[in-house]
Amino acid sequence: MHTVLVGTSGVTASDVLAVARGGARVELSGEAVAALAAAREIVDALAAKPDPVYGVSTGFGALATRHISPELRARLQRNIVRSHAAGMGPRVEREVVRALMFLRLKTVCSGHTGVRPDVAQSMADLLNAGITPVVHEYGSLGCSGDLAPLSHCALTLMGEGDAEGPDGVVRPAGDLLAEHGIAPVELREKEGLALLNGTDGMLGMLLMALDDLDTLYKSADVTAALSLEALLGTDKVLAPELHAIRPHPGQAASAANMLAVLKGSELTGHHQDDAPRVQDAYSVRCAPQVAGAGRDTLAHARLVAERELASAVDNPVVLPDGRVESNGNFHGAPVAYVLDFLAVAAADLASIAERRTDRLLDKNRSHGLPPFLADDAGVDSGLMIAQYTQAALVAEMKRLAVPASADSIPSSAMQEDHVSMGWSAARKLRTAVENLARVLAVELYAATRAVELREGLTPAPATRAVIDAVRAAGVQGPGPDRFLAPDLAAADGFVRGGRLVAAAETVTGPLR
């Protein structure tokens, strides 16, 4: 099994995905263990002094004015975990929790948190054992970190609460730890706070969304090309010299992908009606501009994610000169903004894909295709309601595009009087990404059927490869009405799993 080595820095997006989605093992580097020990010496020295230090010998948040005596500090650290593990609602997905845990471990290993090496090792042991704390949907305001989600993870580390074992069964965390030979952690000064104070949940979901959207944006270029071909549109608008005079990188990449998919097609540029088109509709002609703008949004979001990956988010932090200083680095605004931005871009990409699908089904705009691509229109309804489903998904995505990060609800007796809502932005983005895959699946379903209905004209080799692959995946072609839901589900899996892109690339080579 792949192993990710965690040092004081250098964790990559691929590392996070390997642990969260691939179940990779985690090991601490010698450099990380040394940095952990050095930072802990600083915390222990401050804890021995009579002067109060926030997070070490004081309460937290609005209760930070109370100096905590040495005999109560272990209890204080346990209590912050227990009281902050206050999430509610459905369970969060396993991959999200694993990303959350790994990213907190990454920051702990930076040497800026003051956590002991054996606590960090226990965090790694938990991941390697496949034990996943039960984390709930609601509880994070995205400021002071993802407090409630991280608290549920720390609670499991203490041997309390519930967790899912590697067999997928939820059981008491103490039992799972015992079965895997992991001793419950006894927290000391600052450690409870250090386990809770990070943007790890929203960052983990951002990294996974970026991974998914990379595939979906390539998929959208393929489905747009299929729709253009099925509508007998012109590929002249995809010429690289046209996109060079408006030099947005994403636009050029999307146009190049569509042109590669359409290479060798006999369908593009043909007009079978009595009113030849001077120009195709915006949903066809402007596909690279819309998808390209989304690609450039992805590039910006990746830059933010890389910066956040390189960060050590905690409060207070241990500095190399021995100071332990309070700060506001836990505020999730940088991550929250791009999470919301991605939801906007995804909604617009879905919206233009739905417009192309609707055009394929409308006999007045499809240039010779049967109504709703039905076998016997009137007796058969064809894909009429598949487009309804697609429209409902797009409408939901538009609602999900309303930014969470523009909101703030004060908390902690007005000490935390402005919060990022980044966790909420991440949660709704996950739904938006899932719906985008479904929307593209419906366009794929309609466009492949439409291309096959263009008898006498040969589609592009890449188009033919996609049609053959999607039919082999169990998505049926033209014919009388049938139970559509299984076909749409199969098309969704085909898109989501990257097989649509892979099928096109058998002819085009790697898409951009």
Cite the beta strand spans of 81-188 per DSSP E.
88-91, 132-133, 136-138, 162-164, 170-172
DSSP annotation of 311 = -
**Nearest partner of 443 among 483, 497, 491, judged by Cα:** 491
Burial track 448-471 (b if 16+ CB lie within 10 A, e otherwise): bbbbbbbeeeebbbbbbbbbebbe
Tokens coding 289: 């501009």
Among 54, 138, 282, 388, the active-site one is: 54
Burial of 104 (0-12, 13-18, 19+ CB in 10 A): buried
β-bridge pairing 162-164 and 3-6: unpaired
Q: Considering only CA atoms, which of 336, 253, 332 is closest in space to residue 291?
A: 253
Rounded CA gap, 460 and 400, in Å?
36
Q: Which of 502, 27, 457 is nearest to 264 (CA)?
A: 457
Catalytic residue at 282? no
**Sign, Cα dihedral of 489, 494, 500, 501:** positive
Q: Specify the DSSP element, H or E, that contains 307.
A: helix 287-309
Whole-angstrom distance, CA of residue 432 vs CA of residue 199: 21
Instruction: Enumerate the active-site residues.
Output: 54
